[in-house]
Structure 1
Amino acid sequence: MSIERRHQVFVSSTYEDLREERHEVIQALLELDCIPAGMELFPATNEDQWSLIKRVIDECDYYIIIVGGRYGSIGPQGISYTEQEYRYALDTGKPIIAFLHKTPANITAGKTESNAESKVLLEQFRSLAQQKMCKYWETSAELGSVVSRSLVRLIKTHPMPGWVRADKAADSLAAEEVLRLRKVIDDLKEKLNKSLIELPEGVSNLAQGDEDFPVTFEFNCDKDYEPWTFTRTIKISWNEIFEDAGSLMLDGISDNKFKEILNKIVETDYRDSGEADNDEHLKGFVNLRNFTIYWRDEQTIKFQLKALALIEYHSELSKWKLTPHGSSVLVKLRAIPKGYFDNNDEADVTSEVSACNEIGELETSKI
């Protein structure tokens, strides 16, 4: 939203010899919707004159000085009040344009310095003003035109705050602030979302991915109608564990459900691996059942997945749920790549679907 501003411009010069020129400059500023400020416009005040001048210069956006044929009255500092104003604006970093008479020799005698010392000081002051941006003029009418063009360019190259009507400032500034804060919020949201799905710092040193974890469990079976309990250990990768368990955490699962899932993962992997069939100690045993992961390994799996920022525990729901990072990782693990079924025979696909179905039975059996 564009906000209309008016710029205040301090007009500095000697006075009596440049009355007509000052009038043209002030008229030009008004036509540019600028607010002119100069000594002839100051109200009567008890404030120290120099303090007032400095305060007004500070409040102005731009400073212009008109130099004709006179140097002006010399103050206590040994320079004219006009030069003192100029040097103050220079020291405070105010954008400045000096407008110097093009041919001082053509100025009428009544508007030039008769004092030799003042003439020298005037030349030195002109040299000082020429070190910054300056323009030249011959007549008062020409001066008004030069000021208009020069100030328009200065405003473009050195934009300043300006003044705004109080009734318009509130709405405009509020709208600008809303847009600024909205951009800040959007940037922060983008950074937050990016940080949530990226691998957190410090995780790279933890066991993860295709690295195997030895899981210890026990199960029951029968021989000659007598129940037996065996303890075994099987290696399962972290990706396998998370791929199977994470897919059931979309809506969150309880601690007990988490344990049931891990038990089913252990059972499925143990049966599919063929270790049960090749175990000499299990010859003659039937009805393998009640697969139960050791409590310590169950806790290790939970907190390892939590440390990897894949899952988190919501105490208010008493459930384990996927984190945004975990959801991103799970999608990559479970999504089927292009051409997958062209590169896998039917037996492999059937086996994988069967394994997924066995894990999913934990959910459907409760319905």
Structure 2
Amino acid sequence: MDKRYQVFVSSTYKDLIPERVEVIQALLELDCIPSGMEYFPAADETQWDFIKKLIDESDYYIVIIAGKYGSVDDNGISYTQKEYEYAISKNIPTIAFLHSDIDSLPTIKTEKDKKARKKLENFENLVKRKLCKFWSSPQDLGAVVSRSISQAKKNYPRTGWIRADSMTGTSEKEVVQLYKKIETLEQKLEESSRFVELNKLNLDNLADGEDKIKVIADIKSGSWNDPKTERKTYNLSWNIINYHLLPKIISPIRMTSFKSALNSITKEVYLNDTQNVEMPANITIKIANDFYETVKIQLTLLDLIKFYDEEFFTDEKPKMVKMVALTKKGKEKLLQLRAVRKK
């Protein structure tokens, strides 16, 4: 029977994003189910309890170590080391992947603090007591992980997951949950890949902040049988756009609502225009499609918004809907522009 194995991927995060993408891609190609910090849901249980639960459910555990020791708990132990020690205590087959030349890494990806460097060195010595491999680049790491997991499946067979059509005792609900989990992981991988590609681009020259963009809007007012239309041009800064737009997507909205949100921004700017002392009745404002597309692209490249598919049920039938949400950086921008500080 064909099985899928769940593999917990442990590492520091920000300094190893390209490496994690390669590892997850390698695991998916081996029909494995990656599990790790990217997939933590919002839950009532503590983060550490949830990590332990994920490790308990995993068939194999791998840890990637480079130049960072990582964030630590109240006892000064990094969460990466805690995860490794917990997996060992549960007798889960573990493999460590250590960078072969930490001195070759950029300074930003290494520890500057002497205590942190010492802790990292001690952690490396700890994992070297068990099975470990060495790597020098993201692509090299992906290949080493692929070979190592293939060997681990032969030498340390585990329970894994089995398709429902090959084992009649497996419940349909379990199978559905498994496929949904795989879809979620593949979507996360795609998002991570896009993030890595964006990092490769030169985004330093992107307009932002007080840089301005021209907005052309058709403004229709008056009664339905005697409408008046005027075309106005505004030069709006990206801060003004973000000031009005980001609060509207603090909770995810449908793509179809995104353009309406941009229309409403132009309306708010129009109503605040000091020249419009006497406000006309029944104002309808429509922006040009070019502006709508530009804002979508610009805010995506600035990593302020993200797009994803979400499943909704209409008349008990599933329907995929394109959604828009703030990224972590988008929430930080919203905080910067909108938060009220103490005086």
TM-score in terms of structure 1 length: 0.46
Largest Rg, 1 or 2: 1
By percentage of residues, which structure has more strand? Answer: 2
By percentage of residues, which structure has more helix? Answer: 1
